[in-house]
Amino acid sequence: MAHERIPVTGGCLCGAVRYEVSEPPTAGSYCHCAMCRKQSGSLSGAAMEFSWAAFRFTKGELKYYQSSAGAKRGFCGNCGSRMAFVSEGDPKVWVSVGSLDHPEDWPMTKGASWGRSQHIYVGSKVVWYAIGDGLPQQATE
Ligand SMILES: [Zn+2]
Ligand SMILES: [Zn+2]
């Protein structure tokens, strides 16, 4: 049973960077693009979209890697935890689901009450990985 605790809190593995968000996430995504795969070191990058205006760091700050024109990826400079995807001029920030203290509060499942989740860049997915959660799948964005 999800509790939908507000503020949403999270942080990196070593604890140097902590954040809280005063509003619920608005969407979820599993990105299967090669960049998310490389940067996460995993099969896909699972992230939730939050309002930047509702987001604040409560400890430390992120280092950023400019991964493409207009987009950068934030991570802890000490432990390397991947935490944020930021597009230039976007009022939203994508936060790595794994960095949340309570990801169980926000199920990325079909018909979840808090928002819509989907798989994106499925065209770049590792071919032997089978998606079985029934969420919508987009070939690109
Ligand atoms: Zn850290
Ligand atoms: Zn991606």
Q: How far is the CA of 34 from the centre of ligand 2 (A)?
A: 7
Q: How far is the CA of 81 from the centre of ligand 1 (A)?
A: 6
Nearest to 18 by CA among 78, 108, 105: 78
Q: Is the pLDDT confidence value at 1 over 80?
A: no
Give the global pTM.
0.94
Q: How far is the CA of 40 from the centre of ligand 2 (A)?
A: 10
Measured distance CA(48)–CA(91) in Å, rounded: 14
Of the pLDDT bands very low, low, confident and very high (cuts 50, 70, 90), residue 2 is low
Q: Which domains does the chain have, with CATH numbers?
A: 8-124 (2.170.150.70)
Summary mean pLDDT of the chain: 96
What are the tens digits of pLDDT across the range 32-87?
999 999 999 999 999 999 999 999 999 999 999 999 999 999 999 999 999 999 99
